[in-house]
């Protein structure tokens, strides 16, 4: 049985940075081919669309991994606490075993035969036999309990180690995704750098300042519960803020980061993951969508927006495009959920 000190390694802090170097060796391939220089805004938009779609999938995988990591760390922490409690119980019981065993030899002779020879009377012999049996029974019970606790301690330590190993694997995955996103960002910036300033603005804001999401532009918010109205107002207040992978405010967002931030103001906690958010709340049909509902896109799901009425949503669209209002049906819609 390991000593209490042997579990101390389980408390080492977990950091992505410590694992990044090892993770980079297994980076998924990202195309190194330089895309042809776009000759028109339409060409640039097509290139950016393809690159951004790939990056958004990776970004949501990154977000999923962070959600899983948080759960794995909670599992590890609970298992480690249990292991420490049981380890302390085992140490206490081990002390009791020593006390009971030493007590046997201090209070009674070593054998029934010795008792028979040294007893002054039959009653004395019976009294001594009774004491010995009580101690033996007590010792057996303590030993059984020690054995049971020892098995429980080993299981708890194994569970903690398994949870920690799983958490480290997720951290390596996160480091890989983060490095992958960095490469994809370079590819996106390369495309944008080949455009004039006017064309870059046209790509990022295809419909002009109004569609980009000027916070001052009027938006018709549909019927909503008080909580949903708070969420919508919070999301609309972020219009014009830049898109950033893995961000959830206060001045930059990705798609699930925006919806998570919006609903947090209304007192609802959401995971920072579009696929994870799809599993929260009650699913509603397309015709039932109302302000505050989460609307999801693509298969597999890797984009989410916040409905502001039955036809429009506010969302953090993609790299290079700020938070803005858009038509729900302008994206490949897959479903909606109502969370409050």
Q: Give the pLDDT confidence of 40-86 residue by residue, as tens digits.
A: 667 766 776 677 677 777 777 778 777 888 888 888 888 788 878 87
Q: What is the pTM of this model?
A: 0.58
Prior bond of 297 cis (ω within 30°): no
The arithmetic mean of pLDDT across residues 180-192, rounded, is 74
The arithmetic mean of pLDDT across residues 210-220, rounded, is 61
Walk me through the domains of the chain, giving residue ranges and CATH numbers. 4-198 (1.10.287), 210-338 (3.90.1720.10)
Return the top range by mean pLDDT from 20-24, 105-109, 127-131. 127-131
Q: What is the DSSP string of 223-267?
A: S--HHHHHHHHHHHTTTTPPB-TT-BSSS-B-HHHHHHHHHHHTT
């Amino acid at each position: 049985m390991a000593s209490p000190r042997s579990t101390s390694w389980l408390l080492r802090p977990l950091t992505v940075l410590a694992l990044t170097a090892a993770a980079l060796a297994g980076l998924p391939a990202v195309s190194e081919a330089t895309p042809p220089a776009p000759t028109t805004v339409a060409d640039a938009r097509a290139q950016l669309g393809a690159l951004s779609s790939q990056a958004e999938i990776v970004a949501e995988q990154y977000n999923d991994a962070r959600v899983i990591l948080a759960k794995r760390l909670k599992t590890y922490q609970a298992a480690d606490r249990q292991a420490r409690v049981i380890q302390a119980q085992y140490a206490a019981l081990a002390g009791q075993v020593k006390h009971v065993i030493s007590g046997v030899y201090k209070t009674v002779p070593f054998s029934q035969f010795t008792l028979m020879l040294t007893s002054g009377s039959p009653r004395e012999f019976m009294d001594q036999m009774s004491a010995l049996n009580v101690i033996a029974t007590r010792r057996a019970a303590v030993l059984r309990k020690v054995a049971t606790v020892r098995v429980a301690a080993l299981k708890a330590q194994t569970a903690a180690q398994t949870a920690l190993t799983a958490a480290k694997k997720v951290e390596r995955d996160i480091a890989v995704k983060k490095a992958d996103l960095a490469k994809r960002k370079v590819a996106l910036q390369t495309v944008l750098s080949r455009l004039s300033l006017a064309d870059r603005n046209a790509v990022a804001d295809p419909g002009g300042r109004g569609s980009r999401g000027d916070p001052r532009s009027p938006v018709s918010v549909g019927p909503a519960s008080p909580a949903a109205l708070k969420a919508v107002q919070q999301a609309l207040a972020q219009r014009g803020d830049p898109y950033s992978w893995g961000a959830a405010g206060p001045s930059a967002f990705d798609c699930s980061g925006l919806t998570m931030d919006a609903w947090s103001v209304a007192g609802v906690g959401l995971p920072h993951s579009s696929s994870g958010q799809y599993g929260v709340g009650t699913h509603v049909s397309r015709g039932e969508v109302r302000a505050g509902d989460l609307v999801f896109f693509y298969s597999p799901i890797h984009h989410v927006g916040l409905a502001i009425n039955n036809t429009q949503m506010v969302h953090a669209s993609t790299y290079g495009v700020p938070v803005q209002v858009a038509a729900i049906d302008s994206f490949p819609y897959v479903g909606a959920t109502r969370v409050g």
